[in-house]
Amino acid sequence: MTDLPTPITHPLLDIPGIRHGFFTREGGVSTGIYKGLNTGVGSSDDPDAVRENRALVAAAMGGTPDDFAACYQIHSDIVHMTDQPFGDERPEGDAVIAVEVPGILCAVLTADCAPILIANPRAGMVAAVHAGWKGAVGGVIEATLRQMKESGAEHDQTIAVVGPTIAQASYEVDEAFEERFLHQSSGSGQFFIMGKQPDRRQFDLPGLVMWKLECAGVGQIAWTGHDTLVDPDRFYSNRRAHLSGEPDFGRMMSVITLE
């Protein structure tokens, strides 16, 4: 087993007793269109390569694949609070919270959607959230923070960092997409600007996610600033794969744990 390049981290989460990382596609054993560190069990990659990649990530976080608490992601508002890892079991959902138990690797997979790593050191609580546009509009951020608060994590003492995701300059949508947002989420119009054509818009997913965190009262919020679409050597991207006519794409893992 080889060592991986250091994952992306953020100073807000460089907290004693908490370890985190936004892993890229760099390193790993996958080949072809999945070249690199593909951790997507749901991809059509060689399952043995995916297992080895996930083991590499777990080892980099000080654990084993049995320590993962990661969901079968369905773009929902389903949140799991746990005091033990899931291992190979993947309950449906899009967020995982661990409380006061060290070594549980709370993890989400993304390839343009926004990974959010959350910590509340005072409450001894960490969480990983998968927020694509459906999940963000559907309330996965609010549901996660609500469960954390119910277990003693006050919002103003909570820290949230959004990892590599598709940025506004890369996220072109149509007018129907914008209208759906305006209907479902009051105030979301600020995250759309005119596209290159009159009937196109550019959508700001990280902006929406951070706004929702801010509206909920989260004390400290940041985005790492990485656009997944524009750097194929470093990031997998669902949209880039679609635009290139590729049949599938890899997934990156973001992890947070209590030490």
Closest by Cα among 38, 163, 18 to 104 = 18
Residue 245, in any domain of the structure: yes
Residue 231: inside a domain, yes or no?
A: yes
Q: Is residue 203 part of a domain?
A: no
pLDDT at residue 35 tops 90: yes
Answer whether residue 194 is part of any domain: no
pLDDT of 187 = 85
> What does the pLDDT read at residue 84?
96
pLDDT band of 208, cuts 50, 70, 90: very high
Q: Which amino acid is at 202?
A: Q
Boundaries of domain holding 78: 11-153+160-165+221-258
Residue 2, pLDDT above cutoff 70: no
Rounded average pLDDT over 106-126: 98
Instruction: Answer whether residue 184 is part of any domain.
Output: no
Count of structural domains within the chain: 1
- 88, pLDDT greater than 90: no
Nearest to 115 by CA among 7, 245, 29, 198: 7
Contact criterion met (CB below 8 Å) for 141 and 79: no
Rounded mean pLDDT of 60-74? Answer: 97
Task: Give percent of the chain above pLDDT 90.
Answer: 93
Residue whose entry in the numeric block shows the structure tokens 């050191």: 121
DSSP category for residue 82: E
pLDDT for the residue 193: 97
pLDDT of residue 185: 76
User: Which residue pairs from 47-54 have beta carbons closer than 8 angstroms and sit at least 24 positions apart in sequence?
Assistant: 52/1, 52/28, 53/28, 53/29, 54/253
Does residue 2 form part of some domain?
A: no
Mean pLDDT within 41-59: 97
Is residue 238 pLDDT above 60, yes or no? yes
Q: Say what the pLDDT of residue 87 is.
A: 86
Mean pLDDT for 3-16 is 95
Q: What is the pLDDT of residue 182?
A: 85
Strand pairing of 95-99 and 125-131? antiparallel
132 in Cβ contact with 171 (< 8 Å): no
Section 209-218 average pLDDT: 97
Domain CATH code at residue 98 = 3.60.140.10
Indicate if the pLDDT at residue 1 is higher than 60: no
Structure tokens at 140: 């996965």
